[in-house]
Amino acid sequence: MRTILYFIRKEFIQIFRDKFISKAIFAVPLIHLLILVPAVTFEIKNVNLCVIDRDMSADSRKLVSQLQASTFFKIKYSTFSEKEANALLQEDRCDMVLQFPLNFGENLGVGEPSKVMVSINAINATTAQLSLAYLNGVIQNFNMNIASQHAVPLVSFSKPQISITSRHWYNEMLNYSYFMLPGILAILVTVIGFLLAGLNFVKEKESGTIEQINVTPIKKHQFIIAKMFPFLIISLFDLVLGLLIGRIVFGVPFQGSIGLLFFCSAIFLIAVLGLALFISTYSSTQQQFMFVAFFFMVVFILMSGIFTPLESMPQWAQKINLVNPMVYLIRINRMVMLKGSSFHNISHDLYALAAIATSFTFFAVKRYRKTG
């Protein structure tokens, strides 16, 4: 134990001698959170709309007014030419084209259903689907208003017999920052721990100082533990900083146990640090490590569920995610922070994370070769 403590002390001294790394450890989390949490969102706030109103009736103008009054749509163009509207769509100057036929208002006046045509720019499939869902919501409200104005309810616009009252749990105001912050925190501690630990190991290889360590009687597991521990502490400190920023700047609530969250984060960090050191044993230069690390980081982040629901991925991708530690930490962070989940609720994810951490650390110790 005394040997490990001496080597941990040596690692801390070596880390803080590097002025760039010592500053980056504190600056990266701050910039990371302040930029990404408010910027990364799937909310659609401005859908640029082009209207072709050939009817020019009171009903068509009323529907256009309702669209304009919503927080999602912005009427940027109005024309009578379908060709001109399609050109605007192709030039990416508008996101949606809404066309009213000549008899739109007349049909509604005599109790017959009427139709509108919608053309949507679907290059971004998510934006297109959300925009159409918002449009359907506005049109449904318009339908209900039309139906209530008639003495005899229209069959097509009859009032629903079942009343639905919705309630959003854990994020009642649907604030997207609440959803993103736990995921960004997982990425943050991964970047700090994974990259710095691996680069630190390879840097010693390049400078030759690791040869001096290899001729000492230190055991392989002691060396790996000493390499992991400083970056574990630093990453947990960055997690504290991230939680404070989330609470003070973005007002993200914390419903669960802070101790449970840090315990799970520590297990996660052992996993990613073990993988980083395992990759480092194969790398002769920092460039080699960065190339391989970039591959793993991209796969881990994009398949973690922070941007795409895990359930929407194909079966083969879901099986790959069984060894993706970031999947488990993001889910744990969201459950503990927003739902106040207990150990029992996250035990399955925690056991899986512990198994991954044990495996990666074992591989790192097994792969490390002492040569004197």
pLDDT for the residue 200: 87
What is the mean predicted confidence (pLDDT) over 333-349? Answer: 95
Domain boundary among 115, 149, 183: 149
14 and 53 assigned to the same domain: no
Phi-psi region of 30 (alpha: psi -120 to 50; beta: other; left: phi over 0): alpha
Count CA atoms within 13 Å of residue 331 on its CB side.
23
189 and 291 assigned to the same domain: yes
What is the mean predicted confidence (pLDDT) over 356-363? Answer: 95
pLDDT for the residue 371: 60
User: Is the residue at 214 inside a domain?
Assistant: yes
31 and 63 assigned to the same domain: no
What is the mean predicted confidence (pLDDT) over 1-18? Answer: 83
pLDDT for the residue 208: 79
Position 111 confidence tier, pLDDT thresholds 50, 70, 90: confident
Provide the 10 A C-beta neighbour count for residue 79: 15
256-282 pLDDT per residue, tens: 999 999 999 999 999 999 999 999 999
Output the average pLDDT for the chain: 88
Q: Is the pLDDT of residue 369 over 60?
A: yes
Are the C-beta atoms of residues 49 and 67 closer than 8 Å to each other?
A: yes
Q: Is the pLDDT of residue 149 over 80?
A: no
User: Is the residue at 280 inside a domain?
Assistant: yes
User: Is the residue at 267 inside a domain?
Assistant: yes
Range of the structural domain that residue 302 is part of: 2-40+173-367
246 and 353 assigned to the same domain: yes
**Residue that the structure tokens 């990425």 belong to:** 187
pLDDT for the residue 239: 94
Q: What CATH number is given to the structural domain containing 96?
A: 3.40.1710.10
Q: Is the pLDDT of residue 176 over 60?
A: yes
DSSP SS3 for 78? strand
72 and 31 assigned to the same domain: no
28 and 62 assigned to the same domain: no
User: Is the residue at 199 inside a domain?
Assistant: yes
User: Is the residue at 154 inside a domain?
Assistant: no
Residues in Cβ contact with 299 at an 8 Å cutoff, skipping those fewer than 6 apart:
324
Q: Is the pLDDT of residue 154 over 50?
A: no
108 and 36 assigned to the same domain: no
60 and 85 assigned to the same domain: yes
Q: Is the pLDDT of residue 363 over 70?
A: yes
User: Is the residue at 157 inside a domain?
Assistant: no
70-95 pLDDT per residue, tens: 888 999 999 999 999 999 999 989 99
Listing DSSP states for 144-193 in one string gives HHHHHHSSS--STTPPPSS------SS-TT--HHHHHHHHHHHHHHHIII
Q: Exposed/middle/buried for 97, CB within 10 Å: 0-12, 13-18, 19+? A: buried
pLDDT for the residue 228: 93
Phi-psi region of 251 (alpha: psi -120 to 50; beta: other; left: phi over 0): left
User: Is the residue at 161 inside a domain?
Assistant: no
- Number of structural domains in the chain: 2
Length in residues, the chain: 372
186-243 pLDDT per residue, tens: 999 998 899 989 998 998 888 877 777 777 778 888 889 989 999 999 999 999 999 9
Q: Lowest mean pLDDT: which of 20-34, 71-85, 134-148?
A: 20-34
Alpha-helical runs (H) found in the chain: 2-17, 19-39, 58-69, 82-90, 104-109, 125-149, 176-190, 196-207, 209-214, 220-248, 258-282, 286-302, 315-320, 325-334, 343-367
Position 182 confidence tier, pLDDT thresholds 50, 70, 90: very high
Q: How far is CA 151 from CA 62, 71, 104, 319, in A?
A: 20, 32, 20, 58
pLDDT for the residue 60: 92
219 and 339 assigned to the same domain: yes
Angle at 46 between CA 41 and CA 51, to 5 degrees: 150
109 and 14 assigned to the same domain: no
User: Is the residue at 286 inside a domain?
Assistant: yes
125 and 217 assigned to the same domain: no
362 and 222 assigned to the same domain: yes
For residues 57 and 213, what is the distance between their CA atoms, to the nearest angstrom?
84
Q: Is the pLDDT of residue 120 over 70?
A: yes
